[in-house]
Structure 1
Amino acid sequence: MLYRIVASAFALLSFSSLAAAAPMRTLDLTPFGLTGVTNPDYRARMFTSAIDYLADGTMVVAFPAPSNSLDQSKVRPIGMQRDVILHLNPKDGTVLHRLEERVSNDIRALSATPDGGFLLVEGRSIVFFDAHCNKLSTFQVPGDVTSLEVSPSHRYLMLASGGSTA
């Protein structure tokens, strides 16, 4: 008998949580150069992107984009690309800060930091930024970073690296 009550309560909770779902928002990043995996000009490993929310509720998105999609003064030869980092207000989609970097082709992770900034893992580098997308420092590791985890206290950065150092 108790099992049926628990199951009924669980079913009721599941139904009410579906009914009270928050509205979904969509942010179109194609005007900033996001092309997605359907772009035939780039290898599949280049379609990496990363996203995280900062402590103030804003979000940071990083992705590779074709070099000529946004700033014509930085056009490079066909087939080249750049990394785009956007600091966005997810409520209205406004861009708070934007940074375009030389291409790394290997964005692996992005994580908020306790000071309001974020870190971006690009291949063998961990790059620290402030909330205004200003680069603060870079930490090199001997191999490619394969996974990254920020401790719950935000005091430690745990990472696994591998691959050759050549």
Structure 2
Amino acid sequence: MTTGLRIPQRSRSRGGFLAHPPTAYQEHLAARVRDLGLDATVWTRFDHGIPGLLHHPRLRAVVVPSRIEPLGRIPLEAFAAGAAPVVATTAGGLTDTVRDGVTGYTCPPADPAALAGALRKALGAPADAVARLRDAGVALAKARDYTSCITGVLRSFAPWAAAAAAGTP
């Protein structure tokens, strides 16, 4: 087993690729992973290659440990790609997408012990349970209407923007 933390150093931009050196926190994560002898890849920035990884056969889990998450888009992308299991906190919009034992496993935000427990459940889940979670996640993603979702958010938080988007004065 290869041990270490792989932190992607590049992210795609309109003009090509821009290098992003690791932050102090990412370096801290690398040291912790090395000290614990783990094999992990951590993506901390958006990269256009991430959706392709959601189909990778060695993917063991998609983890969303957010403390604040207004919409919960990452699990929906994972569900749409057929990735499972998804482990997420119950922050904000994540509660609408990741339902404990139904579409994934959940834990409270900012609770490392609970996150570890949810990860243990996800990584130890039998194949039939993972398939059930995957099917439920795919069904949830297919049932989502992004236009209605975004319009609802705009109506709630910026009614002037919703009216402008609808072409009303």
Larger radius of gyration: 1
* Bigger strand share: 1
Is TM more than 0.5 here?
no
TM-score class, shorter-chain normalisation, is under 0.3
More helix by share: 2
TM value normalised by structure 1: 0.25
TM-score (norm 2): 0.25
Q: Which has the higher contact order (CA 8 A, sep 6+)?
A: 2
